[in-house]
Amino acid sequence: MFHGWENFFIVGATAGATMIGLLFVAITLGAGLSTPQGLNATRAFLTPTLILFSGVLFECMAVLPPWPSAWPVGIILGLFGLAGLVYQIHVILKQRKVDFASLDWLDWSLFSVVPMLGDASLIAGAAGLVAEKPFAPYAVAGAITLLLFAGVYGAWDLTLWIARNRDEA
């Protein structure tokens, strides 16, 4: 089902893994932000970004093996997309409680809506894989792209916040 898509998923996995590494650089920059406010921000924004990148890495690696049929990878991706939606609802509730910066509509849409769209696309792609529909690889690739984009935005925003607040700690 994913014949010809190998390069896309290899690049996606590489991007996800690289961004995980760069998050550790951001954590190092913010090592002095161990105030309660800094810890709450980390739990509410850094951890979900790490989960997004880890998800991209996992999803790309899940589609690369030569599965005997589309069923196993469809079920794996479907469960992962469903777990992602549930986790994203948890993240939204947690981020609403954190009062450390004023976020505008763009921030909230990229922290909340885009990952949910990515997870929904992943579920649709997984259902398409199980049903052997031709749109399935496109839906999975779209999901990975959305989740990667949301993670990059989250990492960038968090890094800027750390850089701005490092001297105040």
Residue 1 lies in a domain: no
Checking if the pLDDT of 46 tops 60, the result is: yes
Contact assessment for residue 66 and residue 9, using Cβ atoms and an 8 Å cutoff? no
Residue with tokens 């763009």: 106
Residue-wise pLDDT for 89-123, tens only, equals 998 888 777 665 566 778 878 888 999 999 999 99
Residue 108 domain flag: yes
63: in domain? yes
Mean pLDDT score across all residues of the chain: 88
Number of domains in the chain: 1
**Regarding predicted confidence, which is higher, 38 or 89?**
89
Q: Which domain holds residue 140?
A: 6-168
3-state helix, strand, coil in the chain (%, to 5): 80, 0, 20
Q: What is the DSSP string of 93-127?
A: HHHHH--SS---HHHHIIIIIHHHHHHHHHHHHHH
Q: What is the pTM of this model?
A: 0.90
The predicted structure's pLDDT at residue 72: 96
| 113-164 per-position pLDDT tens digit | 999 999 999 999 999 999 999 999 999 999 999 999 999 998 888 888 777 7
